[in-house]
């Protein structure tokens, strides 16, 4: 069919209007033929021709009257104008490509590059040639430095880069913090350091400013990885209609992502030669580690991929496995995998939230964990180089973690409650309470610098509440003593006022002030800074008092005798559940007091601890006995005037006054001291254990239970670390103490496994 007949067939009435266009009317037929040669569908060609009218209208508004007056710069401007509109943006891009290929528009002489453009080009050459960075990493660094140069207005005043100061860098970071998270701000700081280090090496900057930039505080494993239950993931795959070529392609992509844990860039990077059908293997070029991973090609996966190649893959000379189903034919982008997943989740009708493609990788790892596959083998399948990289998925293995939680200790004998005045005879703890401030604003000689210091620290993602409070009292001291500077004499006088505190608290407060003085010295080199070696030595570590399950049973039985109050009829039950969660789940006191009802999954019997120490979150599956006790406790709330508000505290004070009336740390500690004194759970000095000692006791009891059940303690440690919210078992080692019971259990295990090797007459 001739192109003229084709145009009249698809748009009979509009054909005359297209030919009458002053700019593009003469090329309509050639442009349509060009689109058909590239396998554009009839519907897509209609959209492109319809978009020409809008493109021409915008160009004529800009003063373009003839086709010969256009250049590629004009077509790029058109695309920038309409790129947010999918149909018009695609039409403008394809029209510009056609006009350039046919030579119908001129290639504009590129304008003289600006200072920032030349600077970014030289910086990119340095990153590639000297630093050896990948192309994508170079682009990310250039993008960050482009924003930084724009902040300095370097195109207007190139000398601004030579005269840059630390204060300008801090102002830029405070501005960037408004549009970046702590994690993305870390990339901003990394790019700035790399750029400033390069300029210092070139001699443009006289001082090493890159050494004076503070980093945002980010911790490993802050966020919980998200995974889908395997049944839901299988249901999602079954919901995809494989009767169409696009459905077959989408199913194959998501199947490989779910069954092999492949990343998006690894999926779209698969080539035909990566499948070895005779050997039954699939080769993965890992873009993250730049390593080659060889995985077995299962029969099911091989059949699915072969069916896609035979029936759904468009005919193309390209070697990529997955191609676009619509013109222009070409490989997929990594972001396309997310679009496919989002579209298929929406069409499936399943109750699934919006998620990224990495969820499929997490789901694959958790599925292998529940099948009993070792962490080492899972890491090999995912291409990890370190076992700790695979350990992150242990945090989602709910069934395995549930075996770590302790059951409620067997019933013990209740003791007679001692009066509250019993705790008054205990040695007083030197509390670090700070005196009242005379003013809520900085008013000393360092007021402006202190304001900037606090603002910069908070821009870098730090709470800085306690440190700011210490700095305010130090500033109040300088203002009260009318000190115009911080010399050694003034600093020592302030340190003497802290003499009533223990040495660890003193050292921490002196260190906070010293860190500020180091910050102040960046702009004022004559600032006096104290020597940290002269600070008080930290107080010796106090070994925890391990509470055994029998002792904990006695404490819980005694808690039932706590008398009810008029405003708190569930007083005994509240404290009993609180101490059960502390002992059986190893929670910190702050984690317990911040728990809300929404953090308890009643269906899965799981507590979700959010934003705890080091900003970490974790899942805490409850033992069956603990879950039953918590359910019985919650069932009593409505009968006693308590509301089951999702935002209400899980451990409340007993007052039905709203959602924010939670238990205080003081009330929890006072009742803990009373119960320990009543049950006789004391240390060798006659003092009750700290509440945090229950976390140590939980770790020791879990390890002792593993010995008693004949389990391998080494296999328990990674799960115990995840249960307690630690990055690795190295951190958990602090909580493992060699009690007499553990020593005997370890000796029995060693004797059962190795004693026969040392028997007389054994093999040499």
> What positions carry a catalytic annotation?
263, 288, 358, 361, 384, 393
Angle between helix axes 135-152 and 115-129 (nearest 10 degrees) is: 150
**Could you tell me which residues are beta bridge partners of residue 284?**
293
Handedness of CA 117, 119, 121, 123 (dihedral sign): negative
Helix (H) or strand (E) holding 267: helix 264-268
Token output for 509: 């407060």
Residue 345 has, within 13 A of its CA and on its CB side, a CA count of 18
Which phi and psi angles does 601 have, rounded to 5°? -90, 105
Q: Is 621 helix (H, G, I), strand (E, B) or coil?
A: strand
Which phi and psi angles does 104 have, rounded to 5°? -85, -15
| Contact call for residues 562 and 417 (beta carbons, < 8 A) | yes
- The rounded distance, in Å, linking the Cα atoms of 366 and 364 is 6
| Contact call for residues 254 and 260 (beta carbons, < 8 A) | no
Identify the CA nearest to 491 among candidates 473, 470, 471, 513. 513
Angle between helix axes 28-37 and 86-102 (nearest 10 degrees) is: 100
According to the 3-state scheme, what is the secondary structure of 82-101?
HCCCHHHHHHHHHHHHHHHH
| Contact call for residues 429 and 501 (beta carbons, < 8 A) | no
Token output for 151: 């902040």
| Contact call for residues 250 and 361 (beta carbons, < 8 A) | no
* Integer CA distances (angstroms), 382 to 222, 257, 385, 389, 638, in order: 21, 11, 9, 10, 49
Largest CA distance in the chain: 107
Identify the CA nearest to 608 among candidates 226, 217, 183. 226
CB atoms within 10 A of CB 267: 24
Token output for 725: 């919210």
Residue 552 has, within 13 A of its CA and on its CB side, a CA count of 27
- The rounded distance, in Å, linking the Cα atoms of 734 and 731 is 6
| Contact call for residues 87 and 47 (beta carbons, < 8 A) | yes
User: What angle (nearest 5°) sits at the alpha carbon of residue 723, between those of residues 721 and 726?
Assistant: 40
Q: Is 285 helix (H, G, I), strand (E, B) or coil?
A: strand
Question: What is the edge-to-edge ordering of all strands in the sheet holding 292-296?
Answer: 275-276, 281-285, 292-296
Going by the DSSP 8-state scheme, the letter that residue 291 receives in this structure is -
**Residue found under tokens 């911080």:** 486
Contacts of the segment 108-115: beta carbons below 8 A, 24+ positions apart: 108/71, 108/72, 108/73, 108/74, 114/155, 115/149, 115/154, 115/155, 115/158
**Residue found under tokens 């695309």:** 79
Q: Are strands 600-601 and 275-276 parallel, antiparallel or unpaired?
A: unpaired
């Amino acid at each position: 069919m001739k192109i003229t007949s084709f145009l009249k067939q698809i748009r009979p009435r509009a054909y005359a209007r297209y030919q009458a266009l002053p700019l593009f009317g003469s090329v309509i037929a050639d442009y349509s033929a060009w689109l058909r040669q590239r396998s554009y569908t009839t519907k897509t060609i209609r959209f492109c021709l319809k978009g020409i009218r809008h493109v021409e209208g915008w160009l004529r508004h800009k003063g373009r009257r003839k086709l010969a007056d256009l250049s590629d710069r004009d077509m790029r401007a058109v695309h920038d104008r309409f790129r947010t509109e999918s149909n018009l943006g695609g039409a403008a891009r394809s029209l510009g490509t056609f006009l350039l290929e046919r030579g119908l528009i001129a290639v504009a002489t590129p304008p003289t590059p600006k200072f920032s453009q030349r600077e970014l080009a030289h910086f990119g050459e340095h990153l590639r040639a000297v630093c050896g960075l990948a192309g994508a990493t170079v682009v990310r660094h250039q993008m960050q430095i482009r924003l930084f140069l724009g902040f300095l207005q370097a195109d207007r005043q190139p000398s601004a880069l030579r005269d840059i100061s630390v204060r300008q860098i801090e102002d830029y970071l405070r501005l960037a913090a408004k549009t970046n998270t702590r994690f993305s701000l870390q990339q901003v700081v990394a790019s700035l350091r790399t750029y400033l280090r390069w300029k210092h090496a070139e001699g443009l900057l006289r001082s090493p400013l890159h050494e004076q930039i503070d980093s945002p505080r980010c911790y490993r494993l802050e966020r919980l990885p998200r995974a889908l239950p395997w049944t839901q993931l299988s249901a999602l795959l079954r919901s995809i209609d494989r009767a169409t070529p696009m459905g077959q392609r989408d199913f194959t992509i998501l199947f490989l992502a779910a069954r092999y844990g492949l990343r998006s860039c690894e999926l779209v990077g698969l080539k035909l030669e990566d499948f070895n059908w005779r050997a039954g293997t699939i080769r993965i070029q890992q873009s993250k580690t730049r390593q080659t991973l060889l995985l077995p090609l299962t029969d099911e996966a091989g059949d699915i991929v072969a069916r896609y190649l035979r029936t759904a893959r468009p005919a193309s000379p390209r070697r990529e496995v997955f191609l676009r189903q619509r013109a222009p034919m070409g490989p997929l982008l990594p972001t396309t995998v997310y679009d496919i997943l989002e579209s298929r989740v929406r069409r499936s009708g399943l109750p699934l939230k919006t998620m990224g493609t990495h969820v499929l990788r997490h789901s694959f790892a958790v599925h292998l964990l529940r099948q009993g596959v070792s962490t080492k083998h899972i890491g090999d399948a995912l291409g990890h180089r370190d076992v700790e990289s695979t350990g992150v998925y242990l945090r989602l293995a709910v069934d395995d973690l549930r075996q770590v939680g302790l059951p409620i200790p067997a019933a013990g004998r209740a003791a007679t409650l001692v009066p509250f005045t019993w705790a008054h005879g205990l040695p007083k703890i030197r509390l670090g309470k700070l005196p009242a401030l005379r003013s809520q604003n900085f008013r000393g000689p360092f007021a402006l610098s202190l304001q900037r210091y606090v603002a910069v620290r908070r821009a870098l993602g730090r709470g800085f509440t306690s440190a700011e409070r210490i700095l305010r009292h130090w500033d109040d001291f300088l203002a009260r003593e009318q000190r115009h500077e911080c010399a050694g004499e003034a600093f020592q006088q302030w340190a003497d006022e802290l003499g009533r505190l223990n040495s660890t608290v003193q050292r921490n407060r002196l260190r906070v002030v010293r860190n500020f003085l180091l910050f102040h010295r960046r702009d004022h080199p004559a600032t006096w800074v104290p020597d940290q070696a002269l600070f008080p030595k930290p107080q010796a570590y106090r070994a925890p008092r391990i509470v055994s399950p029998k002792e904990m049973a006695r404490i819980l039985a005694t808690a039932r005798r706590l008398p009810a109050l008029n405003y708190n009829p569930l007083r005994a039950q509240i404290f009993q559940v609180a101490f059960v969660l502390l002992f059986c789940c190893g929670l910190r006191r702050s984690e317990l007091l911040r728990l809300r009802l929404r953090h308890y999954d009643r269906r899965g019997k799981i507590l979700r601890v959010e934003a705890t120490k080091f900003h970490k979150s974790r899942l805490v599956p409850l033992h069956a006995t603990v879950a039953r006790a918590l359910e019985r406790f919650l069932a009593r709330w409505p009968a006693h005037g308590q509301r089951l508000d999702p935002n209400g505290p899980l451990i409340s004070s007993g007052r039905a006054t709203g959602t924010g009336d939670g238990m205080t740390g003081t009330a929890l500690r006072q009742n803990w001291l009373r119960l320990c004194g009543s049950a006789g759970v004391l240390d060798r000095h006659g003092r009750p254990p700290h509440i945090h000692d229950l976390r140590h006791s939980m770790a020791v009891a879990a390890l002792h239970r593993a010995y008693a059940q004949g389990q391998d303690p080494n296999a328990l440690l990674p799960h115990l670390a995840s249960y307690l919210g630690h990055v690795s078992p190295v951190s958990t080692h602090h909580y493992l103490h060699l009690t007499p019971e553990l020593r005997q259990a370890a000796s029995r295990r060693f004797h059962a496994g190795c004693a026969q090797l040392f028997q007389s007459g054994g093999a040499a």
